[in-house]
């Protein structure tokens, strides 16, 4: 994992400085972070699918979203710090980020569209569905005219509920590219301090961090991404500069802690808000540093590569597919706790198994096509 460093030159241009500093990161594969992201995505899917059976699997899986934000900050800084410093503009950068997220998001959304078209989902009026469809195709959150939900759908993305975090990821990406030239370590620490206070206040108001998917959770969701995404950027910069703390533990320990965090009880505990904030402010930074420093084990490389590859496809499509399974179960007289857990787990395992083919045979070709169509090829 080591890489050579270019000798320092005090009169280098800013672009050359970035190129020199990022030499190490360009030749590094962060497989431990891939594994963390994959385990977190599986945990989120388990948490959501359990609701179909009226049970609880990994009830605090929603805290994995903060890990997604932090990992995204790290990866975005790793991939784009040098390119933005060398002149990559905000419009092109955001177009590239949109292309990265859109195809699989759209595929998941179309599952919900098919449910409405076939009559499996009867919760929409014709006008309400048309409105939701227009905003969904534009990857925009569903508005609430007059402050009221449309057809009792008060979520930001009623046709693909988990997509709310993609909105906040894109907002973070936009902020990153717009203020990149001023985003020094001091500024990052200032942002983290302000965001930590906002997270404390907003989470206490909501009594939990399990918010963001609805308009009334917009504040806490903003605070979550405002802390976690810059945290990832800061950890990457410290790693790039060779000054990151050298804490090391085996990767399996990190993954076990992530699972333990997601398995914590939730749903109305009196201390839930304080616990959630403590996990994000204290545990998440440690996990990220440990993940970056984790030594690579060749024997686990295929598994970690697979976990990284299936993470986003699983996240992008599992929500609508869960709704489809619930609708089919209800059609056959099964609702809530009447749905057996074992078949649900089998279906989820099958979905996870399909995620790599979905990534390779749908997502990658779709992104290549969009890149060419929008003139973003190298």
pLDDT digits (tens, 9 = 90+) for 73-120: 999 999 999 999 999 999 999 999 999 999 999 999 999 999 999 999
| pLDDT score of 14 more than 50 | no
Nearest of 142, 44, 144, 116 to residue 323 by alpha carbon: 116
- For 151-174, the pLDDT digits (tens) are 999 899 999 999 999 999 999 999
Under a CB-based contact definition with an 8 Å cutoff, are residues 6 and 27 in contact?
no
Name residue, tokens 């973070």. 172
Would you state the pLDDT for residue 26? 52
Tell me the three-class secondary structure of the chain, residue by residue: CCCCCCCCCCCCCHHHHHHHHCHHHHCCCCHHHHHHHHHHHHHHHHHHHHHHHCCCCCCCHHHHHHHHHHHHHHHHHHHHHHHHHCCCCHHHHHHHHHHHHHHHHHHHHHHHHHHHHCCCCCCCCHHHHHHHHHHHHCCCCCCCHHHCCECCECECCCCCHHHHHHHHHHHHHHHHHHCHHHCCHHHHHHHHHHHHHHHHHHHHHHCCCCCCCEHHHHHHHHHHHHHHHHHHHHHHHHHHCCCCCCCCCCHHHHHHHHHHHHCCCCCCCCCHHHHHHHHHHHHHHHHHHHHHHCCCCHHHHHHHHHHHHHHHHHHHHHHHHHHHHHHHHHHCCCCHHHCCHHHHHHHHHHHHHHHHHHHHHHHHHHHHHHHHHCCCCC
Tokens standing for residue 298: 């060749």
| pLDDT score of 60 more than 70 | yes
Would you state the pLDDT for residue 28? 64
How many residues are present in the chain? Answer: 378
Under a CB-based contact definition with an 8 Å cutoff, are residues 64 and 331 in contact?
no
* 90-117 and 164-178 helices, crossing angle to 10°: 170
* The dihedral formed by the CA atoms of 33, 34, 36 and 42, expressed in degrees to the nearest 10: 160
The domain limits of the chain are 28-373
Q: How far apart are CA 195 and CA 198, in angstroms?
A: 5
Q: How many CA atoms lie within 13 A of 100 on its CB side?
A: 15
Q: How many CA atoms lie within 13 A of 339 on its CB side?
A: 25
- Give the C-alpha distances (Å, rounded to integers) separating 117 from 26, 98, 110, 161: 46, 27, 10, 18
| pLDDT score of 135 more than 90 | yes
Averaged pLDDT, 307-331: 94
Strand partners, 155: 214
Which residues touch 330 (CB under 8 Å, ≥6 apart)? none
- For 211-224, the pLDDT digits (tens) are 888 998 999 999 99
């Amino acid at each position: 994992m080591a890489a050579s460093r270019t000798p320092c030159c005090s009169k280098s241009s800013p672009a050359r400085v970035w190129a020199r500093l990022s030499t190490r990161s360009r030749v590094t594969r962060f497989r431990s972070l891939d594994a963390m992201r994959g385990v977190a995505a599986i945990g989120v899917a388990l948490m959501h699918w359990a609701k179909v059976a009226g049970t609880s699997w990994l009830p605090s899986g929603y805290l994995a979203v903060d890990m997604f934000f932090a990992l995204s900050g790290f990866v975005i800084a790793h991939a784009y710090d040098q390119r933005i410093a060398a002149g990559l503009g905000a419009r092109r950068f955001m177009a590239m980020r949109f292309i990265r997220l859109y195809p699989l998001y759209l595929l998941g959304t179309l599952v919900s569209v098919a449910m409405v078209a076939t009559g499996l989902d009867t919760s929409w009026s014709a006008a309400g569905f048309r409105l939701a469809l227009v905003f969904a195709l534009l990857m925009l959150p569903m508005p609430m005219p007059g402050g009221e939900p449309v057809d009792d759908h008060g979520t930001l993305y009623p046709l693909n509920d988990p997509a709310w975090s993609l909105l906040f990821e894109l907002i973070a990406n936009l902020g990153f590219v717009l203020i990149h030239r001023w985003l020094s370590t001091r500024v990052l620490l200032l942002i983290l301090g302000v965001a930590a206070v906002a997270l404390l206040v907003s989470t206490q108001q909501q009594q939990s961090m399990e918010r963001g998917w609805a308009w009334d959770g917009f504040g806490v969701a903003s605070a979550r991404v405002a802390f976690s995404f810059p945290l990832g950027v800061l950890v990457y910069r410290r790693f790039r500069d060779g000054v990151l703390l050298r804490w090391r533990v085996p990767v399996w320990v990190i993954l076990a802690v992530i699972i333990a965090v997601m398995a914590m009880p939730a749903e109305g505990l009196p201390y839930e808000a304080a616990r959630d904030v403590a996990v994000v402010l204290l545990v998440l930074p440690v996990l990220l540093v440990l993940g970056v420093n984790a030594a690579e084990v060749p024997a686990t490389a295929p598994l970690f590569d697979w976990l990284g590859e299936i993470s986003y496809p699983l996240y992008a499509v599992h929500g609508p597919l869960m709704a489809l399974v619930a609708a089919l179960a209800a059609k056959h007289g099964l609702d809530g706790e009447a749905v057996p857990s074992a078949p649900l787990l089998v279906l989820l395992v099958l979905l996870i198994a399909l995620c790599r083919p979905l990534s390779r045979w749908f997502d990658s070709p779709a992104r290549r096509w969009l890149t060419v169509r929008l003139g973003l090829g190298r």
